[in-house]
Chains A and B, each alone.
Chain A
């Protein structure tokens, strides 16, 4: 969790330097517009969303708006419900047995309305997972266009074009263009993750959910993907779950902090532009978290 480029001596110094570094990093992001003050309608709104597994509540009462074409980071120690919230957005809990209460809206679409099919939601929301998971039995090209094929696109021309565009967006085209038929598993970890990003992008989603996409990667690959994320935000709304505060500071425009409440249930503590959340947090607990005192 610590950034090795921040030299410090005493704990007090350390805290101050940490906060300063975070604030400075965050300043690079486009945090000026503020969350709810942005001119576009939010891409995703959550109201009173709670996720529970059986009797155990993982995260409660989350109300949050995610602005369009910005990167929102969900940060916090593990077990606080960030991933649960993320997976609630594309209805993956249908599959894992979690119960989601509250309302989630994708623009106009009510994600959990009885008449809404999960496939419809998932065609508008893409997801990149913690460990790269290209389909092991498919080639690189087949992987990229897998989502398109699932969604019914069969025109070879459109597939080829969309595939190439997605690979370019993921900064992978030059590396793989001569071996599109090779098995996807031959790529390195970082390349596989970029392939997964390309695969998610090919379906032209409105929102891209990223669940700690760099946690299984080495620092070089991580750097490349972070650069990618910033660029992707111009085209899609990105929601990034991350452990790493510094990553959040580098990459995101807005940050939402999740912490464990008293009863071991995760909850949203503070949300705002990244610069503010790290530089001048409003909530005491947020301050404690970003200064490294908890988590």
Chain B
């Protein structure tokens, strides 16, 4: 059976015809495609997304400020140092700020050395068969919801601290002075420990990534000079990872500031100024959790609580944004190895309970 090419194709096959003549029919399809305003829908989607995002962000700021305005106008700048006494129309955040700073500082004092030591081990001193599973395990700790950590802190740690840990700490020679007063369990100390637990995975994850990013060449240079692995870690790797470590600590600090639920469950909730690490206290977050529902809608007290939100927002945003900026500007560090790693790293900068 002979093959009979149809007309269009035989035009092409004819030697006299120009070989560049486009196949009939295609040209008109392409022409139609080009003129269709497809691009416009896409641009609209993009702009829409950006607009919604920006809109939500602005709405957040506006709403909070609007609601807090009454209390802010009432207190003025003294909100930063006055105490909290709704009965006397005192809506000062002073005590809470002290509590927030105290718990965060103690949490970091615990978490930073432990976290850096762990990261150093995982990034260089550990044999490979240990490093990989342990890294996964520590990241697992980051995924545990803060309410679960709070529950565990409340039911397990509180009696433990009241009966064993706190009495023990009172006996410690020099530091014992920090721990005077009744060991009640629920205290600034316990809240700090709980915060340290929650903040640890952030420090470990980000520091480890930063340390692994230090070039192999630099590490080998150190080894070739007869440095021990520890010396290489201390003098080459950690200085080389400075930026990432700084970001890690900053983000950990921001995380600790913003934690409200777990802290509220273990801190004892006392609006007086704490006189020792064993006293119950309050942070901005815990105060908001406890006072918000009590205040009547539309009242000055409600506005006062929202003012607390503003103060908390101001502090945490400043600290967190700084940390995020440190993460973004990666001049010496290596770029993420691929799309997945980039996403995981981005999440690592944000993952972790913060309720």
| Chain A positions near chain B (C-beta within 8 angstroms) | 90, 92, 95, 118-123, 126-127, 129, 131, 133-138, 146-147, 149-151, 196, 199-200, 203
* CA gap between A122 and B225 in the complex, in Å: 6
Contact flags B313-337 to A (C-beta < 8 A → 1, else 0): 0000000000000000000100000
Number of B interface residues at 8 Å Cβ cutoff, please give it. Answer: 20
- 0/1 string, B198-227, CB within 8 A of A gives 1: 000000000000000001011111111111
Contact in complex: B218, A135 (CB < 8 Å): yes
24 contacts between A and B (CB under 8 A): A92-B223, A95-B220, A95-B223, A118-B223, A119-B226, A119-B228, A121-B226, A122-B223, A126-B225, A129-B224, A135-B222, A136-B218, A137-B236, A137-B239, A137-B242, A138-B239, A150-B225, A150-B226, A150-B235, A151-B225, A196-B221, A199-B221, A203-B225, A203-B226
Determine whether the beta carbon of A137 is less than 8 Å from that of B240. Answer: yes
Main SS class of interface, B: helix
Give Cα A120–Cα B221 distance, bound, in whole angstroms: 16
User: From residue B224, how far is it (CB to closest CB) to chain A in Å?
Assistant: 4
A131: chain B residues at CB < 8 Å are: 217
- How long is the Cα–Cα vector from A147 to B226 in the complex, in angstroms? 7
Contacts of B220 in A (CB 8 A): 92, 95, 127, 129, 133
Which residues in A have their C-beta under 8 angstroms from that of B226? 119-123, 147, 150-151, 203
B228 surroundings in chain A (CB, below 8 A): 119, 150
Other-chain residue from A95, A137, A138, A199 in contact with B225 (beta carbon distance below 8 A): A199
Q: Are B225 and A133 in contact (CB under 8 A)?
A: no
Closest to B228 in A: A119
Closest 3 CB pairs of A and B: A147-B225, A122-B226, A123-B226
In the complex, the chain B residue whose C-beta lies closest to that of A146 is B225
Expressed in whole angstroms, the minimum distance between the Cβ of A139 and any Cβ of chain B is: 12
In the complex, A118→B222 CA distance in Å? 13
Contact call A146/B235, Cβ cutoff below 8 A: yes
Residues in B with CB closer than 8 Å to A196 are: 221
Known contacts A136-B332, A137-B239; A150 and B221 CB within 8 A of each other = no
A147 to chain B, nearest CB (A): 4
Set of chain B residues within 8 Å of A118, measured between Cβ atoms = 223
Per-residue CB contact flags for chain B residues 227-263 toward chain A (1 = under 8 Å, else 0) read 1100100011001101000000000000000000000
Residue of B nearest to A134 (CB): B221
A126, A149, A150 — most chain B CB neighbours (10 Å): A150
In the assembled complex, the CB of A97 is this many whole angstroms from the nearest CB of chain B, namely 8
Q: Please report the C-alpha to C-alpha distance between residue A199 and residue B228 in the assembled complex, in whole angstroms.
A: 17
Interface residues of B in 114-142 (CB under 8 A from A): none
